Amino acid sequence: MKILIADRISPIGVDLFKAQPGFDVVEAYGSSPEQILELAKDADAIAVRSDTRITAEVIAAAPKLKVVGRAGVGVDNIDIEAATDHGVIVMNTPTGNTIATAELTFTHMLAGTRPIVQACAGMKAGRWDRKKYTGSELNQKTLGVLGMGRIGAEVAKRAMAFQMDVLAYDPYLTESRAKSLGVKQATLDEVIENADYITVHMPMTKDTKHMLNADAFKRMKDGVRVFNCARGGIIEEAALIEALNSGKVAAAGLDVYEDEPPAEDSPLRGIENLVLTPHLGASTVEAQENVGIDVAKQMIEALTGGMVVNALNMPSVDPKVLEKLGPYMTLGEKVGTFSQQLAPEGVEKITIRYFGKITELDTLPLTNAIQRGFLRDISDNVNNVNAPKKIERLGIACDQVKSSDHADFNELIEVEVACKGGKTRTIGGTLVGKNQTPRIVEIDSHSVEVSTDATLLVLKNKDVPGIVGFIGVTLGEDQVNIANMSLSRDKGEGFAVSVFELDSAPSETAAKKITEHPAIEKYRVIKL
C-alpha cells in the first residue's frame, strides 16, 4: 500500500507507518497542488495537517484511495462529500490537541482580562504605563461557553478553578452531562445576554456561521469580553471590530479568522484591545506529537481491517462488535440486494426491522451493509462509506427499527420496500445452524427457506395442480438445473409463492414461456 504523507507529522507517526509490512511510505512535505494530484494517483491513504488540500479533483484522481487522515481536528481542507461519494474514509484526531487549545483559550481570556500583551509592548517601547493598563479579574465573573465538546469542557473546568460561573450552550448537551461538568445549561440568547466572557468552541457550519453578529453584540453586556480559538467565521469580524471600537466589547482574542491569514491591512491588526495569534490552537510540542501518532495509529487500523475510529463519514465499530456483526452483515447485504431486485420498478422508502438478539448489537453498520446490497446492481463503487449518501441522493428514505415483537426466529432481518404506486414488498432473512448460514426465510409474508448463494426464480402463481411440473419441464428443456425449491401456499387467497434455486438463469425463451402461463401472476429472477 502506498501511504502519502503530504504534511509534516510526528516522526514517531511516520515510523509507525514505515514499520507496517507492505506499506510504501512517501513523505511529500511542501508539495504543490499539482504534485499532490500526481502523487495521489496510486495512493491508498493520505495523511495531512492543515496545509495540503484534498479536493474533489484529488479524490477523483485516486481510484485506490481508502483513507484520508487529518492530524488535527478541523477538516476544512478535505472535501468530505467527494470522499464519501468515492467511498473514502475521512478521519481526524479530535483528542490530541484538546488540552493545547483549551489552554490557549484560557491564555487569551487572561490576556483579555489583564492587558499583558499591551503592557509588554509599552515596556519594550520605553514606556511605564502603569495606570493605563488597569485590568479586571476572572473571579466571580460569568463565562459563556458556546459548544461543550472536549475543548469546551476543558475550558469550563479551568474557569471554575478561577471561581467563575459557567453558562453552557450546546444543542447536544444533556442535563446529566451538564450536571457532571458543574455547568449551567443555557440557551444561546441567555449566554449572549448574561455572560461577562464568551468563548466559542463549535464547528463552522451554516448554522454557526456569524452566530455572534451585530445583533448579538448589541444584546451583550457592556464591557463583555469575547474569544474564538475554534473556527473563523463563527464571530462576524466586521461586527466585532465595530463593537471593540465602540467600547461595547472591552477586549477580545482571536486565534482563527474568516480569511487566513488576515490581510496585511486588515483593521483587526490595528485594534489595541484585541489580541491576535496565528492559529496556534494545536501548536504545542505535546499536541503536535499526539495528533501525528494518533492519525498514524487510526489509519493503520483502518487499512489493516481493524477498528475505524474518529471517522467523519461512517460509523466507528469496535473489532469485537464487528466480528459478531460479520455474518449478519453478509446476510443483510444479500437481503438488500434481493429487495431491490424484487422491486425494480422504483422504491420510495426502505424500512429495515431487526428482531431478536440482534437488537442488542450496534446495527448501524448492518444498516449500511443492507443499503450497500440494495445499491449493488444500480450504482457503481458502493461501500459502507458512501451507501447512505447514495441512497439519499436517489430520493429514497431509509428507516431502521429495533423491534421487541415476537418473531419466528431467534434473529430476523426484515427489509420492506415501499414502491412507487403504493405497493410494498418484504424480504426476511436469518442465520441457520452452528455455521450461521444466511437464509432467506420470508417473501411478502410467505414463509420460505432458500440459499443466498444461488440464482433464484421467484414465482407467484395460482395454487393449482401442475405448476411445479411445468416449471421443471420448462427449465429442463432450457438446460437449467434446479438445485432446490421452497413452496409457500396461501389457501385463503388461492395463491402460492415458489422459489427455485437454480444453477443458472433461464433463457429469454424459457422466461417468456413461463410468464405466458395463465396461472403464473409474477415472475422474477433474483441473482444474489
Q: Which residues are tagged catalytic?
A: 231, 260, 279
Q: Do 423 and 337 fall within a single domain?
A: yes
Query: What pLDDT shows up at residue 147?
Result: 94
Say if 382 falls within a structural domain: yes
182 falls in which pLDDT band (50, 70, 90)? very high
pLDDT, tens digit, for every residue of 69-126?
999 877 889 999 899 889 999 999 988 888 999 999 999 999 999 999 999 999 999 9
pTM of the complete model: 0.63
pLDDT greater than 90 at residue 307: no
- Phi, psi at 306, each rounded to 5°: -90, -160
Per DSSP, 269 falls in state: G
* CATH number assigned to the domain comprising residue 373: 3.30.1330.90
pLDDT tens for residues 254-277? 999 999 999 999 999 999 999 999
What is the per-residue pLDDT for 288?
87
pLDDT in tens, 488-516: 987 666 889 999 999 999 999 999 999 99
Looking at the structure, tell me whether residues 105 and 86 fall in a common domain.
no
Q: What span, in angstroms and rounded, lies between the C-alpha atoms of 70 and 306?
A: 18
CA dist 44 and 440 (Å) reads 36
133 CB contacts (<8 Å, ≥6 apart)? 114, 115, 118, 119, 122
In a domain, 281, yes or no: no
Establish whether the linkage from the previous residue to 261 is cis, with ω within 30° of 0.
yes
Whole-number average pLDDT of the chain: 92
Q: Residue 310 above 90 pLDDT?
A: no
Q: Which residue has the higher pLDDT, 378 or 406?
A: 378
Residue 389, pLDDT > 90, answer no
Give dist(CA 485, CA 126) in Å, integer.
96
Residue 407 in this model has a pLDDT that exceeds 80: no
pLDDT range class, residue 406, cuts 50, 70, 90 = low
Judged against a pLDDT cut of 80, whether residue 187 lies above it is answered with yes
Domain count, the chain: 4
Q: Identify whether residues 117 and 15 lie together within a single domain.
A: no
Q: Are residues 474 and 525 in the same domain?
A: yes
Residues 358, 331 within the same domain: yes
Residue 308, in any domain of the structure = no
pLDDT at residue 313, as a whole number: 86
Cell of 163: 471561581
Distance CA 11, CA 69 (A): 16
Query: Residue 134: CA atoms inside 13 Å, Cβ hemisphere, count?
Result: 2
91 and 109 share one domain: no
The per-residue pLDDT for 492 is 67
User: In this structure, are 270 and 200 located in the same domain?
Assistant: yes
Q: What confidence tier does 326 reach under pLDDT thresholds 50, 70, 90?
A: confident
**Nearest-angstrom CA–CA distance, 68 and 83:** 8
Answer yes or no: do 521 and 402 share one domain.
Answer: no
Give yes or no for residue 319 having a pLDDT over 70: no
Residues of the domain holding 59: 2-95+287-303
Give the cell for residue 455: 440464482
Q: Indicate if 293 and 271 belong to the same structural domain.
A: no
Residue type at position 426: T
Q: Please check whether residues 245 and 112 belong to one and the same domain.
A: yes
User: Are 398 and 465 in the same domain?
Assistant: no
**Residue at 282 is within a domain:** no
Please give the DSSP secondary-structure letter assigned to residue 288: H
**Amino acid at the residue 518:** P
Residue 263 has what pLDDT?
A: 94
- Give the pLDDT of residue 309: 82
* Cell numbers found for residue 408: 419466528
Q: Which among 395, 411, 444 is the end of a domain?
A: 444
Q: Residue 221: its pLDDT value, please?
A: 97
Alpha-helical segments (H) within 19-164: 33-39, 56-60, 80-85, 98-113, 116-124, 150-161
Ramachandran sector of residue 452 (left: φ over 0; alpha: ψ -120 to 50; beta: rest): alpha
Which residues, 6 or more positions from 112, have their beta carbon under 8 angstroms from its beta carbon? 197, 225, 227, 250, 251, 252, 253, 273, 275
3-state secondary structure 428-459: EEEEECCCCEEEEEEECCEEEEEECCCEEEEE
**Dist. CA 200–CA 148, nearest whole Å:** 9
Res 381: pLDDT: 74
